Amino acid sequence: MLIIHQFFWAHYKAKIYTELQKVVNQNPNDELLVLQTALNEYTRAKIGSIDYSIHQYNVKVLFEDFYENTTIWQRVKKSIYWVNKFKPDVINLPGYYEPAMNIVLFYCRFKGIKVIISSDSTESDNPNVGWREAMKSFIVTKAQGFFCYGTKSADYICKLGMNPEHILVANNSVDNERVERVFNEALLEKEASKKAYKLKKYNFIYVGRLIEIKNLDNLLAAYKSLANDDWGLIILGDGSEENKLKQYVSDNNLEGVCFIEGQPWYEVPKILALADVFILPSYSEPWGLVVNEAMAAGLPIIVSNKCGSAFDLVLENENGYTFNPSNITELTKVLNKFIDNPDIIRPFGQKSKEIIKRFSPEQVAKEMYAGFKKVVYDNQ
């Protein structure tokens, strides 16, 4: 079994691959190799230093550099080198959008190696242009299976021409236990930390890049319309929209908005511990793993209905709410549900923790292994 993981050291995959390695180790005839294309990509340079201790699986790094500094043919050449050296029965490729990986796909099919594609895309991610959809269909139908990031991703793959029986995984996870542990440790210092950041009694929180597609303009506009001195808004992250957003806050004299610079991934639960309700307002989001993290920390969630995770992780009026990201009035109403009744924060958060248990790295790893075996032995 060979997995090529694209772009960068993905901490959120580390636990899944570690659990997958444990399953593989229990089967003496199986072997796992994960190829990491590059150390990082420019837009995620602040994600933090590499913690090699959490990557407890057989891994090779193809380029110790930023992904953008590698060429298509360099990635193809090194990937195929390891395909020939490792001689896998089945390979897992990262998506169908990257030319280098598509070349590797067709090479593997030529060599008789079965292919599973990981896909996080949903139908609403981007405008669906006819010729592009036809190209996607041509590529995805060359694979024997799919690891999808949730129900909406699986639905889209089927719409592109695959049978539902080829959907091997429709799940996505983070290291729930680690997030919860760090979060709980930070809770011990919550009040002191809130004073240091000059936070309100209650706080909404956004975590992610400060870029246009994340829809922070509308989030701030909705927050502006709230008339409550007890509630603040934490915005954690960096990005091209940062100065514009801060200028909006200044121009409108918005009290209670606290900008915190981007943190290494392992520090994020500490900031989540300062908040009471998590918000992801994106115009488009294939999944949104930070929703998993917020739920593992026991926070209620407000998630745009354009985020893939909304369909699987939000139970309306039980652990949170969804909304149309283009509708500021609708978002304001959802925010006010917590402002008007803060007593729901705790039971909603407990429901989040209950739901996210089903989205664990251990479960995803088991499903992946079963998927690998199914593809290897089907049609033999």
The highest-level CATH class for domain 2-173+360-377 is alpha beta
Q: What is the pLDDT of residue 173?
A: 87
Torsion of CA 143, 145, 150, 156, to 10 degrees: 40
Token pair listed for 306: 């354009």
Q: What is the pLDDT of residue 332?
A: 96
Along the 380 residues of the chain, how does pLDDT read in single tens digits?
Answer: 666 665 555 667 888 889 999 999 998 889 999 988 887 776 666 555 666 777 888 888 888 888 888 899 999 999 999 999 999 999 999 888 888 989 999 999 999 999 999 888 887 766 566 777 888 888 888 999 999 888 888 998 898 888 889 999 888 888 889 999 999 999 999 999 999 999 999 999 999 999 999 999 999 999 999 978 999 999 999 999 999 999 999 999 999 999 999 888 888 999 999 999 999 999 998 888 899 999 999 999 999 999 989 999 999 999 999 999 999 999 999 999 999 999 999 999 999 999 999 888 999 999 999 999 999 887 55
Residue 70 in 3-state DSSP?
A: coil
Q: What is the pLDDT of residue 169?
A: 87
H-helix or E-strand spanning residue 260: strand 257-260
H helices of the chain, where?
11-25, 72-86, 99-110, 130-140, 151-159, 176-187, 190-197, 216-224, 242-251, 268-272, 289-296, 308-313, 328-340, 345-356, 361-377
Q: What is the pLDDT of residue 43?
A: 62
Q: Beta-carbon neighbour count of residue 192 at 10 Å?
A: 8
Q: What is the pLDDT of residue 350?
A: 97
Confirm if 332 and 225 have CB atoms less than 8 A apart: yes
How far from chain centre, in Å, is Cα 272?
16
The domain limits of the chain are: 2-173+360-377, 176-356
Q: What is the pLDDT of residue 49?
A: 60
Interatomic CA distance for residues 290 and 40, integer angstroms: 19
Let me know if the fold of 2-173+360-377 is the same as that of 176-356.
yes
How far from chain centre, in Å, is Cα 345?
24
Closest by CA position to 373, among listed 122, 107, 88:
88
Token pair listed for 209: 């890049």
Q: What is the pLDDT of residue 270?
A: 95
Interatomic CA distance for residues 310 and 290, integer angstroms: 12
Q: What is the pLDDT of residue 29?
A: 87
Q: What is the pLDDT of residue 145?
A: 92
Architecture of domain 176-356: 3-Layer(aba) Sandwich (3.40)
